[in-house]
Structure 1
Amino acid sequence: MKCRTIGIDLAKSVFQACGVNQHLKPVFNQRLARRDFYAFMAEQPPTQVVMEACYSSHYWGRELTQLGHTVCLIPAQHVTPFVRGNKNDRNDALAIVEASQRPNIRFVPIKSEAQQEVMALHRIRERLIKNKTALTNQAHGLLSDFGIIFSQGERCFSVMAHIVAASSHVSENIKSLVAMLHEEFLGLKAKLKVIEAKLKQNLTQFPQAEILLSVPGVGYIIASALIACIDKGQAFKSAKDFAVWLGITPRQYASGSHSYMGKISKRGHRYLRKQLIHGARAVLNRYKNENDALKVWGESVAHRRGFNKAVVAIAHKLARIVWHLLQKDVMYQPQHIKA
Structure 2
Amino acid sequence: MKLRTITIDLAKTVFQACGVNERMKPQFNTRLKRDQLLDFIRQQALTMVVMEACYSSHYWGREMAKLGHDVKLIPAQHVTPFVRGNKNDHNDAFAIAEASQRPFIRFVPIKTEHQQEICCLHRIRERLGKNKVALSNQSRGLLSEFGVVFPCGHAAFLHGLTSIIDNPQYSHRLQDMVIDMLSEYKTTINRLKRIEKQLTEFVDGCESGRILLSIPGIGVINASAFLASIDKGQAFSSSKEFAVWLGLTPKQHASGNISKMGGITKRGDRYLRKQLIHGARALVSRAPKSSDPLALWAMKLRVTKPFNKVAVAMAHRLARLIWVLLTRQEHYRAMPASLEVSA
User: In the alignment, which residue of structure 1 is the partner of 2:242?
Assistant: 242
Query: Is the counterpart of residue 142 in structure 1 residue 138 in structure 2?
Result: no
CA 186–287 in structure 1, closer or farther in 2 if over 3 Å, else same:
farther
Alpha-carbon offset, residue 230 of structure 1: 0.5
Deviations 1:3-51 (A, max 9, x none): 1001100111111100001110100000111111111111111101100
* Letter matched to residue 321 of structure 1: L
User: In the alignment, which residue of structure 2 is the partner of 1:309?
Assistant: 309
Whole-angstrom distance in 2 between the partners of 1:19 and 1:151: 64
* Letter matched to residue 319 of structure 1: A
Alpha-carbon offset, residue 172 of structure 1: 3.0
Bigger shift: residues 89-98 or 156-165: 156-165
* Letter matched to residue 317 of structure 1: R
Aligned 8 A contact 1:217 1:287 in 2: no
* Letter matched to residue 60 of structure 1: W
User: In the alignment, which residue of structure 2 is the partner of 1:78?
Assistant: 78
* Letter matched to residue 141 of structure 1: G
* Letter matched to residue 285 of structure 1: S
* Letter matched to residue 84 of structure 2: R
Aligned 8 A contact 2:74 2:100 in 1: yes
* Letter matched to residue 42 of structure 2: A
Aligned 8 A contact 1:21 1:27 in 2: yes
User: In the alignment, which residue of structure 2 is the partner of 1:158?
Assistant: 158
Counterpart secondary structure, 2:15: strand
Structure 1, unpaired ranges of 5+:
none
Alpha-carbon offset, residue 147 of structure 1: 2.7
CA 74–162 in structure 1, closer or farther in 2 if over 3 Å, else same:
same
Whole-angstrom distance in 2 between the partners of 1:232 and 1:9: 29
Alpha-carbon offset, residue 69 of structure 1: 0.8
User: In the alignment, which residue of structure 2 is the partner of 1:270?
Assistant: 270
Aligned 8 A contact 1:216 1:287 in 2: no
Aligned 8 A contact 2:250 2:264 in 1: yes
* Letter matched to residue 240 of structure 2: K
Structure 2, unpaired ranges of 5+:
none
User: In the alignment, which residue of structure 2 is the partner of 1:13?
Assistant: 13
Deviations 1:58-87 (A, max 9, x none): 111111112111111011111111111111
TM-score when normalising by structure 1: 0.95
Counterpart secondary structure, 1:163: helix
Counterpart secondary structure, 2:294: helix
Aligned 8 A contact 2:21 2:27 in 1: yes
CA 151–249 in structure 1, closer or farther in 2 if over 3 Å, else same:
farther
Deviations 1:107-151 (A, max 9, x none): 001111111111111111111111111111111222222332233
User: In the alignment, which residue of structure 2 is the partner of 1:48?
Assistant: 48
Whole-angstrom distance in 2 between the partners of 1:114 and 1:206: 13
Whole-angstrom distance in 2 between the partners of 1:286 and 1:225: 23
The number of residues matched between the two structures is 339
Counterpart secondary structure, 1:253: strand
Aligned 8 A contact 1:16 1:93 in 2: yes
* Letter matched to residue 110 of structure 2: I
User: In the alignment, which residue of structure 2 is the partner of 1:117?
Assistant: 117
Query: Is the counterpart of residue 318 in structure 1 residue 295 in structure 2?
Result: no
Whole-angstrom distance in 1 between the partners of 2:214 and 2:18: 46
Deviations 1:164-205 (A, max 9, x none): 336554333322222211111000000111111111112244
Alpha-carbon offset, residue 156 of structure 1: 2.1
Aligned 8 A contact 1:213 1:220 in 2: yes
Whole-angstrom distance in 2 between the partners of 1:140 and 1:84: 54
Alpha-carbon offset, residue 277 of structure 1: 1.2
Query: Is the counterpart of residue 67 in structure 1 residue 67 in structure 2?
Result: yes
User: In the alignment, which residue of structure 1 is the partner of 2:232?
Assistant: 232
Alpha-carbon offset, residue 287 of structure 1: 6.7
Whole-angstrom distance in 1 between the partners of 2:18 and 2:154: 53
Backbone CA RMSD of aligned residues:
1.7
Whole-angstrom distance in 2 between the partners of 1:42 and 1:229: 29
User: In the alignment, which residue of structure 2 is the partner of 1:93?
Assistant: 93
Percent identity over paired residues: 56
User: In the alignment, which residue of structure 2 is the partner of 1:299?
Assistant: 299
* Letter matched to residue 109 of structure 1: P
CA 151–254 in structure 1, closer or farther in 2 if over 3 Å, else same:
farther
Aligned 8 A contact 2:287 2:299 in 1: no
Counterpart secondary structure, 2:262: strand
Whole-angstrom distance in 2 between the partners of 1:206 and 1:114: 13
Whole-angstrom distance in 2 between the partners of 1:109 and 1:8: 17
* Letter matched to residue 40 of structure 1: F
Alpha-carbon offset, residue 106 of structure 1: 0.7
Deviations 1:244-263 (A, max 9, x none): 11111121222222222211
Aligned 8 A contact 2:8 2:16 in 1: yes
TM-score when normalising by structure 2: 0.94
Bigger shift: residues 60-69 or 284-293: 284-293
Aligned 8 A contact 1:82 1:95 in 2: yes
